[in-house]
Every structure is written in C-alpha cells, then in structure tokens.
Amino acid sequence: MKTDSPSALGYRMPAEWERHQATWLSWPHNRDTWPGLFPGVEPAMAEVVRALAPSEPVFVNVLDGDHERHVRRLLERVAPRDRLEFFGIPTNDAWIRDHGAIFVTRQGPEPLLALDFDYNAWGGKYPPFDRDQLVARQMAKELGVPRYVPGIVLEGGSIDVNGAGAVLTTEQCLLNPNRNPKLGREEIEDVLRATLGVSQVLWLGEGIEGDDTDGHIDDITRFVAPGRVVTVVERNAADPNHAPLAANRERLESFEVDGVGRLEVLELPMPEPVVNGDERLPASYANFYIANEAVLLPVFRCRHDDEAREVLAACFPDREIVPIDCRVLVGGLGAIHCLTQQVPAV
C-alpha cells in the first residue's frame, strides 16, 4: 500500500449509520432520465428532503440561480430554510451516489477527505457526463477539504462498507470491462483497501433485472451492522431475479467478517415487478438510505412493502422507518440511495 494513500494516512469510510453532518443531493432536472414521468420526480424528492431535514442539514446541487429559486419554492413547505444549503454545482443528472465525492474520515488534522473516483456514466451508457465528472472535486472545494484521486472508475452505489474493515461489492460491476478493463480483481481490491480503510473485500455475483449500473450492491445487499446484512431474495422461482439472488444469498452464508465472525444474513423480499411499458425497472427495497434519525425506505405500493419495513425496523430500532413512494423515481432506474450521499460527521 502506498504510504500516502488515504488508508495509510489513517482514513476510513464510516458506515452509513454513523453520524452525518449532512446529506448531499444533486437536484433532478434531466427529463430524458424520466421520460414521461418527470412531473412526479420533484415531488418525490421533496418527500426525501422532508424526511431528512429534521435530523440533518440537506445540501443541494443546482444548475444556477434560476434553478435554485425553483427548488427553494418546491421545498419551502417541507423543510426550514436553515436546514437547506444550495451549491451552484451543475450536473448532467441526479445520481450523486455515483458521480459525487465519497467521504472518508480520520482522527487528527484534516479529518475529512473527499475521494474523487473517475466517473464514466456506468460504462459510457449515458453521454454527456462531462459535468458529472467534475462534481466530486467541486464538492471538496465547497467544503474546503482535501481531495484524493484514486485513478480508477468507481461509483458509490457499487460499494457498501461496515465501517470496521469490510466492503461488499459485485463481480458484475467492478470486474466489468466497461469500467477498468486493464485491472483485475487483485488490482481493484488493492485500490479499495488503499482508499476506503478496509482490509476485507466481499464479492457477490450479479445484480437485479433492469439495473443499468451492471449490478450495484445497493440494490442487492447492505450492511446494517458490522456483522449483519440484509439481502434481497426473490421467492418466485420463475422470476429472472430468483437464481442470481439465491446465488448471492448462498455466498453470504459462507462469509466470515474480520473481527466479527460469521456474517448474519437477514432477508428482504423483492417487490412485485415494477415496469414502465415493457421495461423491467430495478425496484428494490435494498436501495434504502440510513439518515441520522431515520431510514428512508423505497416502497412501491405492493404487498411486500410492510414486510420490508418490518425487517428494517428490527435492524434500526432507534430510527424511524420512513416509506417513500418510489414508483416514479425508479422510472429513472434508481431510487433513494442512488440519489443521496452522506457527509460524515467529524
């Protein structure tokens, strides 16, 4: 490991349930992302802000002054003005989990560091992405914190950490040649260890139907404690998601987490299929976001919503589980976790 890498300097990526100083959003504006659905996107995002604001400030990237005034009007009835901070950071799209900075922390001087991974819109699928490529560095500048450039393509939705030395990811995404074709598993693991403060990389296989990110972990399996995960399962054996999710479930049973032991695995159901025309959308209860005093749960107005809420309520008894109707948001092929990025407290 390089002596000047974030991990060598004492940085680590905190678990999402650790305290935040804020949650950061890139406000949606690209109507091509939600064809025919955009009128419902901003009201859904306002509900996200409503759920976040009581427990932490909300930072919002906007295109310009006119866009800021528009978003302020949308949010004036859902959050106090002093809980919102706007930044003139123009974007191509709203998926800040993937195009934004990933923050790591340490004790001592410069306690917060912004990781600025390369971004290529999930393998070049959605040009242009020139603005999104610049967002992480601009976030670091706005906060006045140092920035580290690892030099590989990586999206925040492709990793999930337990804050105690382990990271979950998938082979379908991180080993995909549309990301880092010259890097193999060992080289990618080396980068994860050097940047996230982890010692253990836990690999799952494939993601869910309709996921244009090539198998992001935040639609599949999430840490809810250092030695516990929730993972989605599809109980209908005829559904295309059944086999890959069962295979991931089997892998999870074999994992032992350093310092914890055998991984405890809890099941989340998959929602009933959500479609837009003839397109299967990547609806998943695993795309929740853990805020300081709440867990924002995507729901889809189907019979499995209540079960998913109960599973997460048992995992987070000290947080309110806030259901957010994501039937419109998932039309853009993402949901709550994809649209948020935590800024850890230091």
Residue 186 has pLDDT above 90, yes or no: yes
Tell me the per-residue pLDDT of 323-345, one tens digit each, with 9 for 90 and over: 999 999 999 999 999 999 999 99
Tell me the per-residue pLDDT of 111-160, one tens digit each, with 9 for 90 and over: 999 999 999 999 999 999 999 999 999 999 999 999 999 999 999 999 99
Q: Token match 């490529």: residue?
A: 133
Average pLDDT over residues 245-266: 96
Taking a C-beta distance cutoff of 8 angstroms, is the pair 188, 177 a contact?
no
* pLDDT for 1: 60
Strand-pairing partners, residue 104, are 113
- Report residue 102: phi and psi, to 5°: -105, 125
Strand-pairing partners, residue 81, are none
Q: Which active-site residues does the annotation give?
A: 338
Helix axes 41-52, 65-75, angle to 10 degrees: 70
Taking a C-beta distance cutoff of 8 angstroms, is the pair 100, 135 a contact?
yes
Quick one: how many helices (H) and strands (E) in the chain? 10, 20
Cα gap 107→110, rounded to integer Å: 8
Taking a C-beta distance cutoff of 8 angstroms, is the pair 273, 238 a contact?
no
Q: Model-level pTM?
A: 0.97
Residue 3 has pLDDT above 80, yes or no: no
Average pLDDT over residues 222-241: 98
Tell me the per-residue pLDDT of 302-320, one tens digit each, with 9 for 90 and over: 999 999 999 999 999 999 9
Taking a C-beta distance cutoff of 8 angstroms, is the pair 37, 328 a contact?
yes
- Whether residue 226 is preceded by a cis peptide bond, meaning omega within 30 degrees of 0, is no
DSSP at 34: S
CATH of domain 20-344: 3.75.10.10
**How is the chain split into domains, by residue range?**
20-344
Cα gap 200→164, rounded to integer Å: 10
